[in-house]
Amino acid sequence: MAIKSIVQNNITWHYLTDFGGTELEFLKKNYKFHPLDLKDCGGEFQRSKIDIYKNYIFMVLQLPEYSSTSNRIVVQQIYLFIGKDYLVTVNHEKTKFLNALFYKIANNSKLKDNIFSQGSEYLLYTVMDYILRQRWKIITTLDSKIEKIENDIEEGRGKKVVYEVATLRKTILQFKTILDPQRLVTNALSRIDVKFLRKDMTVYFDDIDDYADKISFLIESYRDRILSLHEINESLLSFRTNRLISLLTLFSVALMPLTLLSGIYGMNIDLPFSDKPGLVWFLFTILGGGVVLTYLSLKRKDLI
């Protein structure tokens, strides 16, 4: 049975690292949770949410795990039941950081007494504050990625930046999709007013809500920066493309007289000055010089 418990000061924390038939029967036997909440615990992934009942609160939190090397986000889900004298956390697998917190509290009698003596509300705050800060601190790794994109743009690696920007925009959107419902949960928790939770704990839950707002602000900031970099890079690529097209157009137009002249004197007929090759070459030189002068003039005016 994947159920571990800490009991102190008449407060209990049940830590479930799986949710099969045994765990389901354990919760049914010891608590009167709504069948739909128990169904959620064993069901498919869903967005963060909070359901408030007469004697307990049920929450679902999505926790992102980000790999900066593969640019992939893996989402883990944790379910929490909070009542007057208990906290139940449910995972479908062991989560390293939550496992570390559980055993840190279990093996430190002073810390355990300090947390559990302040009630199940403070235990909930401790768990939520820890897991959210542990998981959302990964958002700061995006800052170094954005700085790298800025350096690539400055060094003229525009084609490479296109893929990097697209990947990072997708990552930021995924983070935002996970965080937005979670902010609704933390905001609702900071304003909650139920009989089985102390009202003076709202200031602690407000601290969690402030942290969620801070992460949201960072995500919005990263999104604005990456959109600006996308526009800058597109403008630079467009500018370089236009200059190249202008240069190719200039040479195409400039070479037309030479092409015409060479075509005319390449015909097997008698043409004016055909018996004076020096004069013909002089005409080619004049036209070629005109091409060079035109190029230099446009270059000086920074038109190409």
* Secondary structure (DSSP) of 16-74: ES--SHHHHHHHHHH----HHHHHHHHS-----EEEE-SS-EEEEEEEEEEETTTTEEE
Q: Is the pLDDT of residue 12 over 90?
A: yes
Higher pLDDT, 85 or 284: 85
Q: Where are the domains of the chain?
A: 3-238, 249-300
Q: Encode pLDDT of 20-65 as tens digits.
A: 888 889 999 999 999 999 998 887 778 899 999 999 999 999 988 8
Quote the pLDDT of residue 259: 72
Burial code (b: 16+ CB inside 10 Å, e: under 16) for 3-13 equals eeebebeebbb
Give the dihedral of Cα atoms 174, 136, 204, 60; nearest 10 deg. 50
Task: Please choose, from the candidates 86, 278, 280, 275, the residue with its C-alpha nearest in 3D space to the C-alpha of residue 197.
Answer: 86
User: Among 16-20, 170-174, 270-274, which stretch is predicted with the lowest mean pLDDT?
Assistant: 270-274
Average pLDDT, rounded, for the chain = 83
Q: What is the CATH number of domain 3-238?
A: 3.30.460.20
Q: Encode pLDDT of 190-241 as tens digits.
A: 888 888 888 888 899 999 999 999 999 999 988 888 888 887 777 777 767 7
Instruction: Record the pTM.
Output: 0.76
Give percent above pLDDT 70 in the chain.
85
d(CA 87, CA 11): 8
Residue 303 — pLDDT band, cuts 50, 70, 90? low
Quote the pLDDT of residue 214: 92
Q: Encode pLDDT of 99-118 as tens digits.
A: 889 999 999 999 999 999 99
Q: Is the pLDDT of residue 251 over 90?
A: no
Q: Encode pLDDT of 151-197 as tens digits.
A: 887 777 767 778 888 888 888 888 899 999 999 999 999 888 888 88
